[in-house]
Amino acid sequence: MKSNWSGLTKKAMVSLASILILSMMLLGCGNTSTGGSASGNIATIKVSHQPEFESFMTYDGIQKKLDQKAGIKLELVYFDSGMPQISALPGHAWDVGATGCVPMLMAALRYNSYLIAVGDDESLANTVMARADNPIFQTKNANGTYGNADELRGKNMLVTTVSGGHYTLVKYLQSIGLKESDVKISNMEQAQAVAAYDSGKGDAVTLWAPFNYTGLNKGWKIAASGQDVNARTPILVLADKTFADEHPDQVVKFLDVYFQGIDRMKSENTQLAGEYQEFLKSWGGMDISKEDAALDIKNHPVFNLKEQLALFDNSKGKSQIATWMNNVADFFTQNGKFTEQENQTLQKDEYITDKFLKQLAEQKGIK
């Protein structure tokens, strides 16, 4: 092979390069924006998701070709957790997506990303877990959690930091009179945390669905959920600002597909357990039982378009979604994750917009 290449003349090399460039032009390889790309008249929208419940709505829409009916092509982009997802924004690795409330705040601060909808309420699905023989289960608290300060002070907690799970863990610690600094924090991605805890590392582990179902199957018990400790942790749908400003029609088309998935989830609910189980296996690489799939659906309330318009309504003051997000921002400011100046920026709620929801509602005749 080397001798063949070395025998090419400069003229032949130039001709070959010209053919390649012409081929690329004919194939339409250029991007139509910083995010989406076009194939003929169909725009490709890159949708970032994690192997979690909220991702099913996009996956289901693709399987049923609802994106094609809407005049777009949705392309799933896989991430393990929120912060790697947000870190990929400057390179325009994706256009729209869904993530936890804490990464959403980071996306708003760093990259002016828009919060455009709610994927689901994950408060029940964020859990602090421990092995069944852990002494904390000898103490049950009034709010339904287990453990006390003496039993947990100085213990090693495995958690994916800067996440809704992290928020749940710290709220749990506060509920029993501890600060984050009173325990040892070991930052791990979810799959890594499951493996490490299973091998004997750590005293407790914070897991969200569906990873916590793996823990339950291993005999671990739930010491606290986000709902127990008033850690409201919605999953948010967000958009790259540049992409959304340049292609608002594409954002609305994506939401159209996504809300068809939400409507189906609300109407069929646990009847979708088999399909949801298959989604986690085929796209997320995770095996859970059909029973756990049904439980995961129950633990993730979703909101239809009309309900979301109400969540985003700020005509009488702070919207409900802004209140949830402001509470999270305040909490992490108090815990040193955001500066006061950053928190003041977030409290203005300028990153929260219902303009795309309203455009979709107008198309659907919903007031």
Q: What is the pTM of this model?
A: 0.85
Q: Are strands 96-99 and 234-239 parallel, antiparallel or unpaired?
A: antiparallel
Decide if pLDDT at 2 tops 60. no
pLDDT of residue 200: 98
pLDDT tens by residue, 13-59: 333 343 333 333 333 333 334 445 555 579 999 999 999 999 999 99
Q: What's the rounded mean pLDDT across residues 57-80?
A: 98
List the one residue out of 132, 205, 203 whose CA is nearest residue 168.
Answer: 205
Is residue 284 very low, low, confident or very high in pLDDT (cuts 50, 70, 90)?
Answer: very high
Instruction: Copy the structure tokens of residue 138.
Output: 């000898």
- On the CB side of 217, CA atoms within 13 Å amount to 14
pLDDT tens by residue, 289-326: 999 999 999 999 999 999 999 999 999 999 999 999 99
Residue 198 parent element (H or E)? helix 190-198
Instruction: Copy the structure tokens of residue 277.
Output: 């189980």
CA 355 to CA 70: how far, in whole Å? 19
List the one residue out of 355, 351, 353, 363 whose CA is nearest residue 256.
Answer: 363
pLDDT tens by residue, 168-221: 999 999 999 999 999 999 999 999 999 999 999 999 999 999 999 999 999 999
Residue 37 parent element (H or E)? strand 37-39
Q: Are strands 42-49 and 96-99 parallel, antiparallel or unpaired?
A: parallel
Is residue 84 very low, low, confident or very high in pLDDT (cuts 50, 70, 90)?
Answer: very high
Is residue 126 very low, low, confident or very high in pLDDT (cuts 50, 70, 90)?
Answer: very high
Mean of all residue pLDDT scores within the chain: 90
pLDDT of residue 248: 98
3-state class (DSSP) for residue 233 = coil
Is residue 106 very low, low, confident or very high in pLDDT (cuts 50, 70, 90)?
Answer: very high
More confident residue, 283 or 34: 283
pLDDT above 90 covers a percentage of the chain that reads 86
Q: What's the rounded mean pLDDT across residues 260-286?
A: 97
Q: What's the rounded mean pLDDT across residues 86-115?
A: 96
